[in-house]
Structures are given as structure tokens and as C-alpha cells.
Chains A and B, each alone.
Chain A
């Protein structure tokens, strides 16, 4: 089936199979592999995107459900070649190791700071608890969030 959606500000069309997730469509149909496929069952947050401004796991949304809607992926956060401040902070704080969780965490952190510009430590922990990271032990991710919120 054909779907039409706005991705990172651009009108896009894709020919998808009815059972395909939005994640698969983004990665394999629309050339946007930044959203990651770590669990594909909504447990790890690696595929976090904004769907009409709401943080969702793209693996739990059917591509067909996104027809007519607005999607922002990690590829859409940088503006005019300038990294988003959350991206900059992750690099500077050393919050990136293997990086497979990073796109999801960057999107989730950008969403957190959009709603709560100065989050407390508890708020950071709670907001990012749906994003698994296996490399960092989260310490430097907390540093990055604090850095980006300054």
C-alpha cells in the first residue's frame, strides 16, 4: 500500500507492506536508518521518534498508521548543518560508546528538554528509563543531559 507522511519536514511517499512497522519503513523504504532496530518490541527505545510531536517507539507503530502524519527522526534534529544541542552534549560528555542506543536517547532527551528545560536528576532518570544503553552505565548520559539543559 502507498502511504504519504511528513518526515523531518519533507513530504514523503512509500510503498509498504501492510504488516510493516514505521521503523522498517523509515530504515528500509525512506533511507533513514538512524532510528535503530535493537529489540523491535518497544522495550529499548532505540527507535524513538516523534510522531505528531509525541515520543513513540517506531517499532510499535505500523507504517500505515503514520499515513498522513508528521514524523521527526534523529536525522531531523540538526538544523542548517548545526548539531542539536543534545547531540553536541552527548559527544562532549562522552555519552557515546557503541552508539546504538544514542539516536533513541538523543530524541528522547530532546523531547524531555522541550517539555522540561531544567530537569531534576529524578526527572532525567524517569524520562530516559525506557531507553536501554548497554555500554555506558548511563553516568555520562546524565552528564550529557545536564550539559544540554544549561
Chain B
């Protein structure tokens, strides 16, 4: 190994350090949740509802119980504790009882010697359903029969909307919502359901401890919140349920909610054997929540100089059958509806409803993606109406520290909106490519049978922003524990979930920097040895883990200074407190409802074949507000990957449903970007340290996803001259100009 490579391997804060798990991941040795095994292990399988909405009349288990290799067949009657769970509201049955509310809802479980035996036994379970009319149109949901008997989200400080099936209704009123401008543009927009499509399917292994408790090894985003949901359903004290992080094959929000955790634990405790569950791809599509599909109506009013006077937006989100994190998504959609622009007057009305469509919750961008797409389309429209350059219009309205948001919150930290706009706009776009050319470089790639006669080129631009860390008064913290050994060296415990984003490196780089030594190891991520780290979501994990590890390291050094011996300290880091939004006005009830913000601007070159309805994104250039980079190479990786997920939503990704039933649950029918779809991404890292954050960091995972769908659509509009108000864009939308 060369000297420079060694330096790369053991770097400090600010250096591009090799992933500590990089080599095992390239050799196949890294153990993902689906790779685990244990002596005497059984395989679990889930029986799921084939209906989007139905009453359960009877469940007959006899056939399954008599099947070869079967050790357990369980229904809701076998759940010893609470029958329902949920990330924020316990509205979701562990196993369905009385009725099923979405296609794929778990109804029964089987454990058998071989996964195929479990699957075949599951097929022999007879569930008699009485189908009910599914609620599938979110616009009609508020006038239809409620799909839940209880109002789960009432009484939590939200506006108590009495209409049926409302998960949350938030109205932000700012200034004079009736203020008129010289120019007004309006439009309605729609987004399909996007899937996280992480490659590692939901999997895990539950091992009974022989004393009534259970250890669950699972791919998750937040170990402790899993534990706190699992334990009451098993009727066990929290200490008897230990959650250990198994290798995570991507997450993107889709592993915030539980999938097979309680199920595998139930089967393991019932059989006294280790039980492994691994979803296949089809099952994964019903095994986690998705990005909320949305319908958005927007009106932007501006004066003749292009200064925004008033933004009015109505947002309707389809939350599907269970609440998950929908209340926070509703709020984010409204909070960031205006985009990163200073607006004196606004009326932002955001509603999320229950339906019998697939449940929706967290996905990278979390509500900001949906409204950025609408808001940026509006800004392009406004620029056209005013005869202004779209970049200039954005600069004239760019939000800056000291400005107030529609929620009344003043921006105190860093938010270099004008800077990212200028830096992205400066990036030189590549020259148009000549025709004819290799088919692989035509829209549609090798599927393009023309010589490029119908190819048109467009250049687009967009800006987006969102919150960093949890908001609205959520009591958020992260713990870290540091041990210093007498013989030298240190061990760090932190339950921050490594989901691929590289937080393991962040923890080690911070510890090496603070302790001034390379001799640092990270203990395995578990609920058994350290308090909660909070969730690897909301672009918060780097900030929070860096804060906690920094605190614990400094405390450990002080302790050793004092005692001279071995040291073992645990510290909890909290970010500045936030306050709820007023349920009537949507205004912050304290100084801030969001901790901090991050923005990104993106410039895109795209080509459209208007004869075939095919697209090609040629080039993407972006400038992102990142606070400071702990690991610049990893930051770039987040920007490139986040951009690809936004490209997927722009061009191809949509879960399709018919009466609530998913019709494309496979990678054959649900397409995600390949090497042929993703262009080069040129990224500029704009470093303006965040004053409230350790080392000035910000999360970097979400802004690229927020902005890229909007930026790509801007380029497609430039190429086609069409409004393109729905994503993903379909061939029919761009063909035949």
C-alpha cells in the first residue's frame, strides 16, 4: 500500500477518506441483512392481501399447518402485545384484523425449514375476504367513508380537520394572501408515486435469546425507534428487544418504517428458533412506504421587475392507507412551496389524505421534491411572462440570511441561494453533438431507429431547498459513547445507521480529529451498548453524529486528564430546539420551526426526440450549499446519486396502480436509471459553514433530489415548448410537435 493510500484510509475531517467498508463491499464479504444465517434457522414468509380494501371474514390455516417443513403459522391473534404500530401514530396492524386497507398488507406469517416450503404453505392459507369499495382518488377521499375508525392524527397539535380521511391539513398564511401583482401565472401539476427502489430487499434475522427476549439483526435507518415499536407489540420490556444493524443495501427513507422486524421476532419467539425473512423484489414494492404522489395548483404574482409579490399554492398529497410520516411530509411540502425565494405574501394550503392506495411516507426530499417541481415550473413560466432571463428572475428573488420565510421564521444560519444560482449558471454547457452519431448517444439509446432527425435540444435551470434535521419541535438528539483504553486506542459507539451514505467514515474521521490519533475503532451499531442516534434521514445524520462524537471525544479527553485511567463516557448532542407551527396560521410558535436549510441549483442539457417521444439527459451541472465537507468525495457521491433519483422521477419512475392494486412491481416494469440514462454530473461544492452545526456541516443527501426533477423538466420544456406539468414525463407528452 502506498503512503498516499494509507493517508486516504485514515483521514481526518475535511479529507476524502476511503470508505471503511469499501474493501469488504467489493470482495463480497460485507454481510447485508439478507446474508445472515444462524444454526437451526427457519425462513419466514408473509401472506399478503390481494385486495386494496376488504373485510376479512375468515382465515383458515389448516392447509398451511399440515404442509411439510412448517413450524409456525401466525395471525393477528398471535400478537401478544399491541396489535398496531406506527412510526408516529400507531394506526397500522402488525397483522391485519377485521379489514385490509392496501394491496399487499400483511395478514399471516409462516415459518418453515426452506423458503420454498414457507411460500408453498402460505399459498395454502385460505383467507375469505369481502371486498369493499377502495378509496383511490385523493380528491374524493374527504367525502368518502373513512378508512380508519379512529382519527389517529387528531389531538397532536394540528388543525383538526373534520372531513373524513384527512391525515393532516396545514395552511400557512403569510402577509396578505390577496396581494395582487402586475403579472400572474398559474398552473396545475402532478407527480406519480416514486419508489425508493433500494437494491437490498427488506431482510433480517430474529434470534430468540432463550430467556424470553429477542435479538433482531436488520437493515434499518433508526435502530432505537424500531425497538420502541417492536417491544410493545411483543409485550416485552425494551431491554429484552435488542436491535443490531445488519448491512443495509440502500434506504432513501424506505427503511424508516418497520417491515419484517416484528414479524420475524414473532416467528422466532413462537418457534424458539432463529427466523430469517427476505423479501423478493415484488414483495419489496409493497413492503415499504413510497414518495407521496401529489396534485398541486399554483399561482405566482409578481411586479413588473420580477419581484415576487404573492405565492398561492394548494397541495394534495395521497398518503395511502397508513399515516407513517405523512404529517411531516405535509408540512414540508407547504414550508418549501415557495422555493428559496423571498416572498412577502403567501397562502400555502397542504393536505394529506388516507386512501387505499400504497402507503406513502419518507423518501429523499420529503415533500420538498413535490413542491419544488411545481414552484420551479412556475418560475420559468413567470420569467417567460415577464420576458426575463430565468436565472436573473431567480437571482432577483433569492432568499438570504435575515429574510423571513412564509412561516415567519427568520433565516439565521447560512443559506447562500444567490451564490449557488450564480455558480451553477456559470458552468459551461457542452456544445451540441453532431448528427448522425452512435445510437447509444441518441434519445432512447439503441432503441432509437432514426438518424436523429427529430432531436431537439433544451437547456434548463432550477433551484431548490429544504430543511436539515427534524422540525416542528421534535425532540431530536444523537448519543455517542467513547472509550479510551489504558494501552492506547479508542472505541466509539454510535447507533447512527450506515445506509451507504458514509456516516461510518464521518464518525471515524471526527473521532480521529478530536482524539488526535488514528487508533480508533467503531463498535457495531446496536441498541445494546449506546443510546439512540436518531434516524439516518432528513439530511441530519452527519450533523448529529458529528456533534455527538465530537462531544463525547472532548468529554473523554477531559475525563482522562482528570483521572488518568481508562475512560468510558457517553454524551448526547442536541441541535437548536424548534417549535411547532400554529395550527390556525401555520406560523412558527417560537423562533424557528426548522433547524437549518440547504439549497442547490442545477443546470441541465437535455435532448428530446419529438418523433419518438424519447429523451436523453446530456449533461448536468450543479452547485450545492453543503456547509462544509467532512469527506468531499462522499459529498460528490451523494450529489451524483441524489441527482439520479430525481432524474428517475422526471423521466421514468412511477408505481402504477389500478383500483389501488400495484401493476408494475418489478424492475422489468418499474424502471430506474441505468448507466445509459445518467449523464456526467459536474458538481460545485459551495462551502459556507453552518454556524449552529459541528464543523459547520450540513446534510447533503436531499437537495440534489429536490432540485433535479425540476431542472430536468425545465430543460425538456425548453426543448419542446410544452408545459409538461406531470412527472414522470411520458413519450405521449413530448411526441408530435
State the A residues within 8 Å of B (CB). 17, 19-20, 27-28, 32-41, 43-44, 46, 73-75, 77-78, 83, 86-87, 90-92, 94, 96-103, 106, 122, 124-126, 128-142
Contacts of A103 in B (CB 8 A): 25-26, 28
Known: A75-B27, A139-B678. A36 touches B200 (CB 8 A): yes
Q: What DSSP secondary structure best describes chain B's contact surface? A: loop
Q: What separation, in Å, do the CA atoms of A97 and B700 have in the docked complex?
A: 14
Known: A17-B114, A94-B636, A134-B672. A122 touches B441 (CB 8 A): yes
Contacts of B200 in A (CB 8 A): 36, 38, 98, 100
Contacts of A133 in B (CB 8 A): 199
Contacts of B76 in A (CB 8 A): none
Q: What separation, in Å, do the CA atoms of A77 and B500 have in the docked complex?
A: 23
Q: What separation, in Å, do the CA atoms of A132 and B29 have in the docked complex?
A: 20
Residue of A nearest to B278 (CB): A37
Contacts of A83 in B (CB 8 A): 23, 26-27
Contacts of A87 in B (CB 8 A): 23, 26-27
Besides A37-B201, A37-B280, 7 other A-B contacts (C-beta < 8 A):
A17-B116, A41-B666, A94-B633, A97-B500, A124-B675, A129-B675, A139-B636
Contacts of A86 in B (CB 8 A): 26
Question: Do B22 and A96 touch across chains, with their CB atoms under 8 A apart?
Answer: yes
Contacts of B678 in A (CB 8 A): 137-139
Per the 8 Å Cβ criterion, residues 1-49 of B in contact with A are 5, 8, 16, 18-19, 21-23, 25-32, 34-35, 37
7 A-B pairs with CB atoms under 8 Å apart are A34-B28, A36-B199, A44-B667, A75-B29, A86-B26, A99-B25, A131-B675
Q: What separation, in Å, do the CA atoms of A55 and B317 have in the docked complex?
A: 44
Q: What separation, in Å, do the CA atoms of A140 and B501 have in the docked complex?
A: 14
Question: Do A91 and B18 touch across chains, with their CB atoms under 8 A apart?
Answer: yes
The reply to whether the CB of B93 lies closer than 8 angstroms to some CB of chain A is: no
The reply to whether the CB of B187 lies closer than 8 angstroms to some CB of chain A is: no
Question: Do B114 and A41 touch across chains, with their CB atoms under 8 A apart?
Answer: no
Question: Do B35 and A33 touch across chains, with their CB atoms under 8 A apart?
Answer: yes
Contacts of A132 in B (CB 8 A): 199, 667, 672, 674
A19 to chain B, nearest CB (A): 7
Q: What separation, in Å, do the CA atoms of A105 and B590 have in the docked complex?
A: 50
B546 to chain A, nearest CB (A): 19
Contacts of B26 in A (CB 8 A): 74, 83, 86-87, 90-91, 96, 99, 102-103, 106
The reply to whether the CB of B429 lies closer than 8 angstroms to some CB of chain A is: no
Question: When the two chains form the complex, which single residue of A41, A98, A128 contacts B500, counting CB atoms closer than 8 Å?
Answer: A98
Per the 8 Å Cβ criterion, residues 664-715 of B in contact with A are 666-668, 672-676, 678, 680-681
B443 to chain A, nearest CB (A): 14
Residue of B nearest to A77 (CB): B27
Q: What separation, in Å, do the CA atoms of A87 and B501 have in the docked complex?
A: 19
Q: Digit string of B114-129 for contact with A (CB within 8 Å is 1, else 0)? A: 1010000000000000
Q: What separation, in Å, do the CA atoms of A90 and B34 have in the docked complex?
A: 23
Question: Do A99 and B21 touch across chains, with their CB atoms under 8 A apart?
Answer: yes
The stretch from B244-252, B267-275, B307-315, B352-360 touching chain A is B244-252
B691 to chain A, nearest CB (A): 29
Contacts of B502 in A (CB 8 A): 97
Residue of A nearest to B25 (CB): A99
Contacts of B5 in A (CB 8 A): 92
Question: When the two chains form the complex, which single residue of B198, B668, B676 contacts A125, counting CB atoms closer than 8 Å?
Answer: B676
Question: Do B637 and A97 touch across chains, with their CB atoms under 8 A apart?
Answer: yes
Contacts of A122 in B (CB 8 A): 438, 440-441
Residue of A nearest to B34 (CB): A37
The reply to whether the CB of B281 lies closer than 8 angstroms to some CB of chain A is: yes
Contacts of B642 in A (CB 8 A): 137
Question: Do B28 and A137 touch across chains, with their CB atoms under 8 A apart?
Answer: no
Contacts of A141 in B (CB 8 A): 675
Closest 7 CB pairs of A and B: A34-B28, A98-B500, A99-B25, A100-B249, A137-B644, A137-B640, A43-B667
Question: Do B644 and A138 touch across chains, with their CB atoms under 8 A apart?
Answer: yes
The reply to whether the CB of B641 lies closer than 8 angstroms to some CB of chain A is: yes
A149 to chain B, nearest CB (A): 15
Q: What separation, in Å, do the CA atoms of A140 and B639 have in the docked complex?
A: 11
Contacts of A129 in B (CB 8 A): 674-676
State the B residues within 8 Å of A (CB). 5, 8, 16, 18-19, 21-23, 25-32, 34-35, 37, 114, 116, 196-201, 247-252, 278, 280-281, 438, 440-441, 446, 499-502, 633-634, 636-637, 640-645, 666-668, 672-676, 678, 680-681
Q: What separation, in Å, do the CA atoms of A27 and B28 have in the docked complex?
A: 11
Q: What separation, in Å, do the CA atoms of A92 and B8 have in the docked complex?
A: 9
Question: Do A94 and B281 touch across chains, with their CB atoms under 8 A apart?
Answer: no
Question: Do A100 and B438 touch across chains, with their CB atoms under 8 A apart?
Answer: no
B365 to chain A, nearest CB (A): 15
Residue of B nearest to A90 (CB): B26
Question: Do A125 and B500 touch across chains, with their CB atoms under 8 A apart?
Answer: no
Known: A129-B676, A132-B674. A41 touches B281 (CB 8 A): yes
Question: Do B31 and A96 touch across chains, with their CB atoms under 8 A apart?
Answer: no
Question: When the two chains form the complex, which single residue of A35, A106, A135 contacts B250, counting CB atoms closer than 8 Å?
Answer: A135
Q: What separation, in Å, do the CA atoms of A17 and B118 have in the docked complex?
A: 14
Question: Do A140 and B637 touch across chains, with their CB atoms under 8 A apart?
Answer: yes
Question: When the two chains form the complex, which single residue of A40, A75, A134 contacts B28, counting CB atoms closer than 8 Å?
Answer: A75
Contacts of A99 in B (CB 8 A): 21-22, 25-26, 30, 247, 249, 500
Question: Do A39 and B666 touch across chains, with their CB atoms under 8 A apart?
Answer: yes
Q: What separation, in Å, do the CA atoms of A88 and B408 have in the docked complex?
A: 51
B343 to chain A, nearest CB (A): 32
Q: What separation, in Å, do the CA atoms of A100 and B252 have in the docked complex?
A: 14
Question: Do B666 and A43 touch across chains, with their CB atoms under 8 A apart?
Answer: yes
Residue of B nearest to A99 (CB): B25
Residue of A nearest to B676 (CB): A129
Contacts of A130 in B (CB 8 A): 674
Question: When the two chains form the complex, which single residue of B21, B22, B27, B675 contacts A34, counting CB atoms closer than 8 Å?
Answer: B27
Q: What separation, in Å, do the CA atoms of A46 and B506 have in the docked complex?
A: 27
Q: What separation, in Å, do the CA atoms of A91 and B668 have in the docked complex?
A: 30
Question: Do B35 and A27 touch across chains, with their CB atoms under 8 A apart?
Answer: yes
Q: What separation, in Å, do the CA atoms of A138 and B27 have in the docked complex?
A: 19
Contacts of A36 in B (CB 8 A): 32, 34, 199-200, 249
Q: What separation, in Å, do the CA atoms of A133 and B222 have in the docked complex?
A: 23
Contacts of A17 in B (CB 8 A): 114, 116
Q: What separation, in Å, do the CA atoms of A87 and B177 have in the docked complex?
A: 58
Question: Do B23 and A134 touch across chains, with their CB atoms under 8 A apart?
Answer: no
Q: What separation, in Å, do the CA atoms of A102 and B32 have in the docked complex?
A: 12
Question: When the two chains form the complex, which single residue of A39, A100, A125, A136 contacts B641, counting CB atoms closer than 8 Å?
Answer: A136
Q: What separation, in Å, do the CA atoms of A100 and B251 have in the docked complex?
A: 11
Question: Do B667 and A98 touch across chains, with their CB atoms under 8 A apart?
Answer: no
Q: What separation, in Å, do the CA atoms of A94 and B683 have in the docked complex?
A: 15
B634 to chain A, nearest CB (A): 7
Question: Do A33 and B199 touch across chains, with their CB atoms under 8 A apart?
Answer: no
Question: Do A96 and B644 touch across chains, with their CB atoms under 8 A apart?
Answer: no
B104 to chain A, nearest CB (A): 17
Q: What separation, in Å, do the CA atoms of A134 and B31 have in the docked complex?
A: 19
Question: When the two chains form the complex, which single residue of B8, B27, B636 contacts A78, counting CB atoms closer than 8 Å?
Answer: B27
Q: What separation, in Å, do the CA atoms of A128 and B675 have in the docked complex?
A: 6
Q: What separation, in Å, do the CA atoms of A17 and B69 have in the docked complex?
A: 14
A16 to chain B, nearest CB (A): 11
Known: A41-B668, A125-B675, A140-B637. A94 touches B199 (CB 8 A): no
Question: Do A134 and B441 touch across chains, with their CB atoms under 8 A apart?
Answer: no
Question: Do A139 and B640 touch across chains, with their CB atoms under 8 A apart?
Answer: yes
Residue of A nearest to B632 (CB): A94
Question: Do B28 and A74 touch across chains, with their CB atoms under 8 A apart?
Answer: yes
Contacts of A96 in B (CB 8 A): 19, 21-22, 25-26
Q: What separation, in Å, do the CA atoms of A77 and B568 have in the docked complex?
A: 41
Contacts of B116 in A (CB 8 A): 17, 19-20
